Structure 1
């Protein structure tokens, strides 16, 4: 649904997966060394943000809850295919809306993977059952579990403009519980309001110091700053020649090292996507197994150019 907007804004670009609009061979990326497998736990969320790239909300169930049994099946496939996966990531929606999130995280941790859960640290995470489950995971697996909390801006005013009045304080309350219990935390922010990176990191550093959060604001893996996903912006297509021109390597692009599993509403089984940023693009749906997902990915979307090649974005830690 969002592809129609983005591609029409780019004047005939991103139509053919093999060639660009001016007839040059389009760049592609091979799965070199899969390090992160993401699971989208479902698009339902307790809030509705103003600029959510995946359109999560209390009513959007386009991606339904994935189950622990389904996750376990993909963990088996990782082992069977000898993928060198270091990290299992859980995203949404709000992962703590999914009643099986604790068991899914436990399954991944029990196999030796690191686990990253993306959350707004609000009411779903703070339910008694979730807090009890998180404490059990912490006691068993320690700092192999990281919770990355969405703090869109270091000021309450701008964060709440994105996520709703009072959300900043509710998120900080959840982060305080994580801090007091010794969880490893990271933060995801946005650079949507025009702050330069230095100012943004300084602002987050002050926020972390004020609240005693053990998060390094200067570490891009612990304080991740995502650019706004403006699908009306025109971006260049990436050709095979661009790698040398830009001094970039295909293996440095996110789809060289990660995949995401989703379950679509009405589907019998989950499917594997090339990218966490393109949950609704059929072209980037690779198949129902990790074996299917080992094929090359053609960079046939504006996000491929803007965020991954030109912006160097990565969702992993």
Structure 2
């Protein structure tokens, strides 16, 4: 998941997001309890085949801060889900570029054979195509239980390539079109704001792109085409207090940390760790434990991304 820089905004007040219990104004900070673990995210590693201008997780061909997770390490968490009868429905794979991890096909087979849905976030470039045979076998066996969400930051090559690198749009679109031709269930992730362009224009542009390449995605469907809000941890944003739920008429259960956790393997670590969500892989206050049971505790909304992306932006990485 990568981000086009948003227009200049007021810098973050340094007094904010310092205390997990209270805001800079001394008000009680909101926290979100895990109501039910529905989605388990797996970070397959931060290595990526490209370097984006503004990647929130700093993925690149050189960044291995999050190491490759192995199929055996994932199996331990799947066994915990089975043993504790956790209500997990979907396992999502993110990176980096997940298809650089050679264990990904084995992990997908393990997840799908246990009856879960699987979602892979990919740039659909060469690393994905290198696994074409394995993907086709998985599609033949498990059908629409496997979804691939392709990152296209914009419906034009110029703006997509400005973020990712020259030629990446053509390569990603070729991969997306291949997935569509082969009958995979495909979604697309784009950016909600490019300059002055609004959501309606963005969806219309994507609709034209999909129609022109025979890609069966409904651009008006907010799940099939997710347009994520911009993320800038240095831009000012309100802190979320316990009073905000009533003011915003929003339930804490609607946030992804109420129903999701993410497994990562830090470089040099003896074992994986479980984090509160996909957006905060490096902030130690969001590392909740080594097991899903240890990670089943409330999460204080003590980061700008909690406010802008999740509460105010209304976004979620899964459906």
TM-score for the superposition, normalised by structure 1 = 0.96
Q: Within 1, Cα distance between the matches of 2:66 and 2:170? A: 29
Q: Which residue of 1 aligns with 2:124?
A: 121
Query: Structure 1 residue 216: deviation in Å?
Result: 1.2
Q: Within 2, Cα distance between the matches of 1:251 and 1:282? A: 23
Q: Which residue of 1 aligns with 2:139?
A: 138
What SS does the aligned partner of 1:9 have? Answer: coil
Q: Which residue of 2 aligns with 1:49?
A: 52
Q: Within 2, Cα distance between the matches of 1:81 and 1:50? A: 42
Query: Structure 1 residue 63: deviation in Å?
Result: 0.2
Q: Which residue of 2 aligns with 1:289?
A: 291
Cα-Cα RMSD: 0.9
Q: Which residue of 2 aligns with 1:278?
A: 280
Query: Structure 1 residue 83: deviation in Å?
Result: 1.5
Deviations 1:153-207 (A, max 9, x none): 0001001101111111111111121112111100000124132111111111111
Q: Within 1, Cα distance between the matches of 2:158 and 2:122? A: 20
Deviations 1:17-61 (A, max 9, x none): 111111111111000021110000000000001111000000000
Note the 1:150-165 alignment, pairs <5 A.
Answer: 150-165=151-166
Equivalent of 2:30 in 24, 27, 30: 27
What SS does the aligned partner of 2:261 have? Answer: strand
Question: What is the aligned residue count?
Answer: 308
Query: Structure 1 residue 232: deviation in Å?
Result: 2.3
Structure 2 residues without counterparts, runs of 5 or longer: 1-10
What SS does the aligned partner of 1:292 have? Answer: coil
Runs of 4+ with >6 A deviation = none
Q: Which residue of 2 aligns with 1:257?
A: 259
Deviations 1:118-139 (A, max 9, x none): 0000010111xx1110011001
Q: Which residue of 2 aligns with 1:86?
A: 89
Q: Which residue of 2 aligns with 1:5?
A: none
Equivalent of 2:106 in 103, 106, 111: 103
Query: Structure 1 residue 9: deviation in Å?
Result: 2.6
What SS does the aligned partner of 2:230 have? Answer: coil
Query: Structure 1 residue 316: deviation in Å?
Result: 0.2
TM-score for the superposition, normalised by structure 2 = 0.95
